[in-house]
Chains A and B, each alone.
Chain A
């Protein structure tokens, strides 16, 4: 063990094991997770060469191989619970990227949500056992988040009782679906349904794309890989072009809407139900933000404790870079953010499960708010995490740029989260729509409930306007509750500004949509402020629930840092809204620096508590034992370029020297 890390761990104010239990939900969860992780770590079938040294096609091959083994192993080990499946995959895939992943995450769930009992009987068994490998093809080359714009058509032919699928333009080619390029033999395709001469909008169809047995594309199908990407080397994201391709009527998923044999369309009872899958995936992505950021923080903090550089006091040995205030200022607010998002992720999961039960009983009342909240929080947490991972990488200096750090890989794997499952800006605007609706509701005299209930207390809704002047004195910068109030006031103010600007534009413009567009920057600001408030609130509430004093103390410091840092970064909002005074902002900045010093001794223990195995981190810089430099040298020596002492390309150098 590196002596610096040993010293850090000995000096921590709390036992990281207890904090790990908090993150896992219980000591029992921690135990079971580790048990599953060890199954993989001790299994020779999962060993392979370091992915960084492999070409794209080799990485794809490794991923397919592991997926194939995984199916057998999970059955063998009796792993069936969704959380356990996730732990299992997390460890053996390192980055969750697997070509058959969409079969489980999209194909099967869509079948369950939208397929009739007969359809489930027909397809479910074979897709669960990977007799068929399915994917989910929604996005087209020219169309993404705006679903109504999709161009793929499915035209019903009552003569043969078939749908005829077509990709009428270049822009309508299905583009991006994971596993589509090379792996899958079936796809659920979203297409505009035409029957009896009329378009009924988007519906889902099961489409065979490759022949069973030969794996060759079926006639009428053009399918392939979309080429090299920023990351996701293991994944064959694909394209799919269909040319008068016929499928039987029974291949349309008909649990909600139906097309009768004669071509009569029967519309679904409730549209909202299809939100379910989206809400689930988006709330899962909030947790994914937390995990990715926690990994990046683990690497950066450990390396900063091992790396020595420069001098603070002349003549003394070079200090650990974690002792520099600028380094603490780069990393500790991100560490606090990682914890905040961990708790928000857990909250989202619980809420989803709770509301899902209500939905099961036919109660859809909470769905609109949950939908709005997951959209905004998915965007808020993924934007923040995206920037934060990159900041962690930069905080590791030059070595952060090497794949040995693992950080480039974490970044390129995470960054699509800002785009997929709904582009973040569009997500923020969905939340804004909900906020505007709630604002209007309050304005018309009706109270709103849930996370937006603060809108009931808007100064403009009150009789005494002097309330505004009372705000500043209320904020106590050492009280998480009081800071939550400050964030609430900021959100309320920005929601109100956006609402008023929107009204002004509506008066001046002919169309509501144009007015909406011309207010959209304000609307995004309002949503961000709302989400920021929600995160601060949830973090604060979580800290209060912790029984163990030592854990509560350290989390309270992180919670304060998270809240105060956000105020410092957005000081303009708090000053302009007279929520805080200039001298309070000065105090906030001073308090942040005190907190950096207070968190410093616990920093390594705080990242240890995330409990990532070295294999999962995939980083030489972030190793638990801290033996960074020796292993960095060993790692580089394994690079394929070093296989020979004199590289074959020497011939070019030689000829250059002779010709000039």
Chain B
């Protein structure tokens, strides 16, 4: 379909994205003026973010289908209880699956992904898909043939049960046991202690019929470590828990109210031998344990999920928060910049720009970073499935580190956007509290971030030590690409002489490389010094973890700066877009340098005068980005229905919507029982006494 044709079908962007209520027919003049003169083509930037104009067209087509279904509306979400949210999410999932069947959207298709995006992932059975994916990556061909179709047709509903009440990211610490009984050729799956109860898995509390349980395998009297087992937990007839199974919901949380995170206690539950996933290890009928892959292969499913959530869950939350906060900042007026002027748009305040533009720059930077990681993942994953694990350590280190960094920064960014909206950012109707409570969970799930940083640190140390081996050794040339800079020539001093020099990608990428290398060297040095002083390996590690985390963060910052600048090189044929994105790249790199100025000053790489130059370059960027800010958030192309924010609508009519939405709150439409029960007696009791 040609672009013109698709535009004709979808109508102009205003129609497509707007909430379609009473105010949508007009634009608030304060937001309209922001869109008057466009320094770049917003549609082209949207196409870049979507990965091509045809993707944009397809996405919009799916969105218009989804938004025309009243069952899939998000607008009552803020008024619902946990129970209602759960039920609504199941209903929506059901509805989308029906749509998919009718329209021929296949499993894993772009259409289904876009459908999920347009309802903000507010759907049941998210973990069911992880269950299915894990079987595909850890199951044998026969196992896949048996279970995969059952999952696809929802004949069974799965969950992935790894985390326990007392144990999280550290897998070896899990206590659940699966003991092989050769007599019956069964595994006996059991929770031996209180802390061994499976805790947190989504879809477990009320939905799932089957759980993929991670448990310590014990066969022929030996413990063989963690393995995955398919355990039926609820009756397929009446959904009641099966014998030996204690199961339920873990209670209210900050968010994910649409998901029934649950607990699972297993009391000597027997499952057939065939229910252990055995692509990489198996137990023979007589109890012999056979290993078919490297131990790391068990972690694969975690790598898959870490990569998936960045683009599918974490990043859009930051992009939405930026859209809402920037739009609100141009219609909110507060105080005066000059006594003679009307009240100024808050986005015109330098302090407001300082709050909002670094997160906006991150929202773009991380788009390119997450896509780059996804490409690398696909590249290495095909090798791994064929049994070639050479790229696994780097993939593991990169995905762990970037998951930690992106989830940390996105969480801080969303909260910064929320707080930049003043009081109204505290109202759920702004949409921002829900974005925050959702994104903050990603700092913990799929690996606690500090633990993940330290996993990346181990990879960095190993890579660094490889560079220190004898000069002629073959290893030098074969450093993984993300750490190749460890052997690149390094400058002792930054050559910048003016503020403008700090706008050279080459210069700031090198600066980040320098700091990362210095900190990695430093952390290795600390570790070795402690070892030489007689500390044992593990204590020495623990005593240096703070600096390892610091070094890893610098490494990851370098990686993200580099990916962003390289992505921009590919956009040079679109100079207007290149220019606007380059400013974001500059801002991203410089913001990092200024927040960590101590690290750059420490060995004199940057002088005090150069820090001042960098600060000037940074401050000078703000007014340029100011001009494009609304367009940059428009380019994310979120529909009003998907944003679900009274403050962030495309047309800028925030106050009218806020008032109307508030009036619809049940606290206003239903009676006030507290008045009858308590307030009236309180008031009248006193009056009688007077």
Chain A interface residues toward B at CB < 8 A: 52-53, 55-57, 60-61, 64-65, 67-68, 71, 126, 129-133, 139, 141-146, 149, 170-171, 173, 175-176, 181-183, 185, 212-213, 215, 224-231, 236, 239, 307-314, 318, 323-327, 329-330, 390, 394, 397-398, 400-404, 408, 412, 415-416, 418-420, 423, 425, 429, 511, 513-514, 517-521, 524, 568, 570-578, 582, 585, 589, 593, 629-630, 632-633, 635-642, 645-647, 649-650, 652-657, 659-660
Contacts and interface: CB of A to CB of B under 8 A. Distances in A.
A521 B354 contact: yes
26 contacts: A56-B667, A68-B679, A129-B686, A131-B687, A146-B335, A185-B683, A225-B667, A227-B79, A227-B428, A310-B173, A311-B173, A312-B539, A326-B454, A329-B546, A402-B251, A520-B349, A572-B594, A575-B597, A575-B601, A633-B165, A633-B194, A641-B86, A649-B90, A654-B239, A656-B93, A660-B97
A429 B350 CA distance: 12
B458 interface: no
B177 to A, nearest CB: 17
Nearest to B255: A401
Contacts of B195: 629
Given A326-B454, A402-B251, A416 B443 contact: no
B250 A639 contact: yes
B87 A652 contact: yes
Nearest to B547: A589
A419 B157 CA distance: 45
Interface string B637-678: 000000000000000000110110111111110101111011
B87 A593 contact: no
Nearest to A659: B98
Interface string B415-433: 1000100110111110001
A185 B683 CA distance: 10
A525 to B, nearest CB: 10
B444 A630 contact: no
Contacts of A576: 597, 601, 608, 611
Given A224-B663, A641-B82, 6 more contacts: A52-B251, A133-B679, A312-B542, A419-B422, A511-B337, A647-B206
B351 A633 contact: no
Contacts of B443: 394
B334 A144 contact: yes
Contacts of B686: 126, 129-131
B667 A181 contact: yes
A60 B448 CA distance: 35
A309 B167 contact: yes
Contact of B166 (A61, A149, A307): A307
Contacts of B664: 227
Nearest to B596: A572
B338 A514 contact: yes
A133 B683 contact: yes
Interface in B533-579: 536, 538-539, 541-547, 549
B312 interface: no
B240 interface: yes
Given A403-B254, A639-B249, A655-B94, A309 B426 contact: no
A641 B659 contact: no
Interface residues of B, number: 137
B489 to A, nearest CB: 23
A642 B248 contact: yes
User: Which of A330, A520, A632 has the largest number of chain B CB atoms within 10 A?
Assistant: A632
B654 to A, nearest CB: 9
A416 B194 CA distance: 38
Contacts of A632: 165
B94 A642 contact: no
B429 A653 contact: no
Looking at chain A's contact residues, the main secondary structure is helix
Given A64-B679, A227-B661, A572-B596, A142 B655 contact: yes
B122 interface: no
Nearest 6 CB-CB pairings of A with B: A571-B598, A572-B597, A639-B251, A310-B170, A227-B665, A225-B667
Interface in B150-178: 153-155, 157, 163, 165-170, 172-173
Contacts of B268: none
Contacts of B40: none
B35 interface: no
B658 A326 contact: no
Q: Which of B423, B449, B546, B604 has the most CB of A within 10 A?
A: B423
Contacts of B241: 645
B545 to A, nearest CB: 5
Contacts of B253: 401-403, 408
B165 A182 contact: no
A309 B205 contact: no
A511 B62 CA distance: 51
Contact of B659 (A239, A408, A572, A578): A239
B334 A145 contact: yes
Contacts of A419: 419, 422-423, 425-426
A449 to B, nearest CB: 29
Nearest to B658: A141
Contacts of A53: 251-252
A641 B83 contact: yes
B545 A326 contact: yes
B1 interface: no
Interface in B230-258: 238-241, 248-254
B109 to A, nearest CB: 16
A649 B427 contact: no
A324 B546 CA distance: 10
Contacts of B173: 309-311, 318
Q: Which of B343, B349, B662 has the most CB atoms of chain A within a 10 A radius of its CB?
A: B662
A519 B616 CA distance: 11
B528 interface: no
Contacts of B596: 572
Contacts of A423: 422
B450 A326 contact: yes
Contact of B678 (A65, A425, A524): A65
B223 interface: no
B318 to A, nearest CB: 16
A313 to B, nearest CB: 5
Contacts of B93: 656
A653 B208 CA distance: 10
B454 to A, nearest CB: 7
A660 B663 CA distance: 40
Contact of B154 (A133, A170, A630, A657): A657
With a 10 A CB-CB cut-off, give which of B251, B426, B664, B677 has the most chain A CB atoms: B251
A514 to B, nearest CB: 6
Given A636-B251, A649-B87, A215 B659 contact: no
B598 A215 contact: no
Contacts of A213: 684
B166 A636 contact: no
Nearest to B171: A310
A391 to B, nearest CB: 10
B154 A656 contact: yes
B78 A228 contact: yes
B350 A518 contact: yes
A418 B94 contact: no
Contacts of B335: 146, 149
Contacts of A408: 253-254, 437
Given A131-B690, A657-B155, A224 B667 contact: yes
B426 A57 contact: no
Contacts of A390: 415, 440
B659 A143 contact: no
Q: Could you say which of A65, A129, A230, A314 has the most chain B C-beta atoms within 10 Å of its C-beta?
A: A230
B445 A398 contact: yes
A202 to B, nearest CB: 15
Contact of B248 (A56, A61, A224, A637): A637
Contact of B667 (A57, A144, A318): A57
A61 B602 contact: no
Nearest to B660: A170
